[in-house]
Amino acid sequence: MADLLIEIICEEIPARMQPRAMVDLERMMLARLADAGLSHGGAHGFVAPRHLALYVDDVAERQPDISEERRGPRADAPDKAIEGFLKSTGLTRDQLVEEDTPKGTFLFARIEKAGVDAATLLPAMVGGVLAEFPWPKSQRWGGTRFRWVRPLHRVNLLFGGAPLAGELDLGGASLPFTSASRGHYFESPQDIDLAGVAGAAEYVARLRAGHVMVDRAERRQAIVDGAAGLAADAGSSLRPNEGLIDEICGLVEWPTPLFGTIEDRFMALPDEVLEASIRTHQKYLTTGSADGALQPGFVVISNRLSDADRDAVILAGNQRVLRARLADAEFFWNEDRQATLDAQLPKLADIAFYEGLGSVGDKVARLERLAAVMAPSVAGCDAEMAVRAARLAKADLVTGMVGEFPELQGIMGGYYARHDGESDAVATAIAAHYRPQGPSDDLPASAEGCVVSLADKIDSLVGFFGVGAKPTGSKDPFALRRAALGIIRIILETRIRMPLLPVLTEAASAHGFAAPDPDLEPFIRERLRVSLRDAGLAHDIVAAALGDGTGPGHDDILGLADRAAALSTFLAGDDGAGLVAGWRRAASILEAEESKAKQVFSPTSDPHLFVEDAETGLHAALTALPEPGSKIQDRDELLAVMQSLGGLRQPIDSFFDSVVVNHDDAATRLNRLGLLAMVRQAMQRVADFSRLEG
């Protein structure tokens, strides 16, 4: 057994691609080892801005020898058949063996294949992995045809601590395998000899000695601990931002945290403006007080060793850049408030929304119309405030602040609305109307905000589908799947009972379309299906609850979700499981008889034709069931109806125990089939039980 070390050194890998690259290198290389029959121990992946490495413990030094026996054609088979067999085995006729079998005399090939040394195989395996590496984006450079995320400098390949000979074919050039890594650009620019490295920990230690923390977890923890320590020394704490920490981790090889301060004059700016300048644009970590309020301190992560004089220069430079950016934000903040949001509205007519969908001003008019339609369906919503918020929701798009910081759209509108004297309900709705923008994002906190958010997302869905800009399997440039999931989250989490089809129809009319695109409602239902599956409901239960997209309540998102939850609870009990067994028997008989009769049996049965008590009992149980009408409002009532169905279990079992459905008398037989059709109808009104599995 010997350890394998692969290290790729290149120009800086984009931070967002580093974690996936580390996983891909391990996955692809271990697959090649497995295909070659080379056993191995644990694997350790490493990545830093300029380093991508894999260390594999205890790789077999040689493939196992293989002995294979293959049966060919009969010994007296035509020559062409034998020639084909010889070609497939690579043997000659005199190397084949004839053997008698119960089915005759056949030719057999016995192939002995000696294993190959791993050291001989590894260079080609590594070259193949690098040639097929799945970067999201890659490039060629110079006169080569080889593609990599950034220009390659070297590839190190060691087995058992010794470098392996070979080279990477770049297509027009080659790059020999070496055993010399590189240290930090400035702090340790000399090569790092990897020969004789024994263990992943020693590899990490050798690069650490060259001021490169190649272990991503170690580097990330160093950033968090160092930044948190400086914040604590200043009497504050780091404000959480895992995504930014991950990004910074991909930008530095040797993190050194430095603490800077924000001038007091800028603390009067909204927190979101400060955050956008400090976090998003400058990649600094912000600090907060015990109650979470933003503090006038930040942490910048330097990519150098700590040196008091140099650190002061670095920090001064960063503070100078931040000061300029915050001064711009301060200017926009003061300038934008010179005009009201109402005064900004005419400018929206000059901004095209999308070809065929008019301007942003046109979109605003549609949002007002939709908000007025939906507001009565949302508990606690002030319709007048919702319509007003919809009117002003997009006005901040023409402000200087949003022009500089597009990620603040909506948020700045909320601040400006309050400055203009708009009500809290309007300002809060404007600020949150883009939410939720993903599964981890909060919903709008107010009923009016939910209405405006729904109106915005529904208008976009109807519009883009209407002009043919629909998502495909691989592309969704307008984030329409996210919009549909946002609609579903708002409806389910705030429990809005609102038929969707009339709203889609109203939105289509506002666009000037005759009707919503026929693909839109199934698209939303499919997102609901995904959402319910993600919530832990079984796929067949979800399918049974959603049905085929027709019938009463087919466009009631909340009703469908409640139906799925109630059905899951019902089927988990004994009555549910037993009832489904009886249902399957009834449905199976009906399907067979209807196929023969080429007709669907009517769900009616004449009690005067009953012969057995079990027929009377089942009929009585069916007629006693409550009607699952439109008054059912929530999952508890749906569950109650399903549990009432559970009362059919015993009558159905008794019916099948004592009644022969296919009676000799035609009238009796048809009457009993009608009774089973009544069972089917009663259950299908609750859910499509035919979609249940197992």
| Distance from C-alpha of 266 to C-alpha of 8, rounded to nearest angstrom | 45
**Fold of the domain built from segment(s) 572-691:** Isoleucyl-tRNA Synthetase; Domain 1 (1.10.730)
**pLDDT tens-digit series, residues 532-577:** 999 999 999 999 999 888 887 889 999 999 999 999 999 988 888 8
Asked if 48 contacts 178 with a C-beta cutoff of 8 angstroms, the reply is no
**Fold of the domain built from segment(s) 2-62+117-209:** Alpha-Beta Plaits (3.30.70)
| Distance from C-alpha of 198 to C-alpha of 177, rounded to nearest angstrom | 19
Q: Is a pLDDT exceeding 80 seen at residue 694?
A: no
Q: Quick one: which H or E segment has residue 265?
A: none
Q: Range(s) for CATH 1.10.3210 in the chain? A: 343-535
Q: What is the mean pLDDT of residues 285-313?
A: 93
Q: Range(s) for CATH 1.10.730 in the chain? A: 572-691
Quickly count: other Cβ atoms within 10 Å of residue 364's Cβ: 23
Give me the residues paired with residue 62 across strands: 117
| Distance from C-alpha of 582 to C-alpha of 649, rounded to nearest angstrom | 7
| Distance from C-alpha of 659 to C-alpha of 652, rounded to nearest angstrom | 10
Strands (E) located in 278-382: 285-288, 294-302
Query: For tokens 């290198």, what's the residue?
Result: 25
Quickly count: other Cβ atoms within 10 Å of residue 408's Cβ: 24
Interhelix angle 480-493/557-571, rounded to 10 degrees, is: 70
Q: Is a pLDDT exceeding 90 seen at residue 280?
A: no
Q: Is a pLDDT exceeding 60 seen at residue 169?
A: yes
Classify 283 as helix, strand or coil. Answer: coil
Look at 188-197, 224-233, 619-628 and tell me which has the smallest mean pLDDT.
619-628
Strands 97-101 and 152-159: unpaired
Asked if 412 contacts 399 with a C-beta cutoff of 8 angstroms, the reply is yes
pLDDT for 64: 84
Q: How many helices (H) and strands (E) does the chain have?
A: 25, 16
Look at 203-217, 354-368, 644-658 and tell me which has the smallest mean pLDDT.
644-658
Q: What is the mean pLDDT of residues 314-337?
A: 95
Dig out the tokens for 276 from the structure: 């956008």
| Distance from C-alpha of 459 to C-alpha of 587, rounded to nearest angstrom | 43
Domain 343-535: top CATH class? mainly alpha
Q: What is the mean pLDDT of residues 276-290?
A: 90
Write the single-letter amino acid at 7.
E
Q: What share of residues in the chain are helix, strand, coil (percent, to 5)?
A: 55, 15, 35
Alpha helices, DSSP H only, in 62-117? Answer: 79-89
Q: Is a pLDDT exceeding 90 seen at residue 456?
A: yes
| Distance from C-alpha of 465 to C-alpha of 511, rounded to nearest angstrom | 11
DSSP string, 359-399: BHHHHHHHHHHHHHHHGGGSTT--HHHHHHHHHHTTGGGGS
Q: Range(s) for CATH 3.30.70 in the chain? A: 2-62+117-209
**pLDDT tens-digit series, residues 23-59:** 999 999 999 999 998 999 999 999 999 999 999 999 9
- Among residues 267, 276, 244, 291, which one has the least CA distance to residue 412? 276
Please list, residue by residue across 104-142, b when 16 or more beta carbons sit within 10 angstroms of its beta carbon and e when fewer do. eebbebeeeeebeebbebbbebbbebbeebebeeeeeee
Quickly count: other Cβ atoms within 10 Å of residue 442's Cβ: 9
Q: Is a pLDDT exceeding 60 seen at residue 630?
A: no
pLDDT for 578: 82
Q: Is a pLDDT exceeding 80 seen at residue 111?
A: no
> pTM of the prediction?
0.82
351 φ, ψ to 5°?
-105, 115
Burial class (CB in 10 A: 0-12, 13-18, 19+), 296: middle
